Structure 1
């Protein structure tokens, strides 16, 4: 019988620093700057950059880029504020671009 290695993680593609748990995925149907992205409820081992207003596919949002705490690779962004009522669920959540993360313990 295989031993459980630990929780399924996503790590920085550059330095393998763990940045989120598979269980924290809310949706895989998001678009990042460089292709597909996942919406996560939590992220770890990241640095949050300055807030800025950005026009995204779903309207105007206040976001902050998020960086790997080890190598400073830009991994995605954090939704700080959504201006449209239908987008409020994103506030406080994290976008991690699929091209910037790798699976660990799968």
Structure 2
């Protein structure tokens, strides 16, 4: 295996809660209204320092989507998913964008989000965009 090169971001960043690898900037948030099985999730226009897994179709609250899990390149933790394709016309805006689950990342200033009792069990997607 070769040397790992990480992109370091400056400003208000979201990073891996396990190894502090940088993922995204606050200003790249598209929506904060998403939910997953552990609670809140944010939709980002771009992320760095992740590897993209295998594409699969998942039925979510807003319809069928082709998605791929994303993994931290620092420690290998699953931190969210990438929307590869939306099968519902109104959801096309998600294509090429990334979900980071707040339960799995640290926010700006090192803040952590903890899963709540209100977290959904099962599918994951936005309440509204």
Q: TM-score, normalised by structure 1?
A: 0.91
What is the root-mean-square deviation of aligned Cα atoms in Å?
1.2
User: Alignment length, in residue pairs?
Assistant: 101
- Correspondence for 2:12: 8
Structure 1's unaligned 5+ residue stretches are 1-5
Summarize the alignment of residues 1-106 of structure 1 with structure 2, pairs less than 5 Å apart: 6-105=10-109
Higher share in strand:
1
Q: Confirm or deny: 8 A CA contact 1:9 1:22 kept in the other structure.
A: yes
Separation in 2 of the partners of 1:48 and 1:65?
6
Structure 2's unaligned 5+ residue stretches are 1-9, 111-129
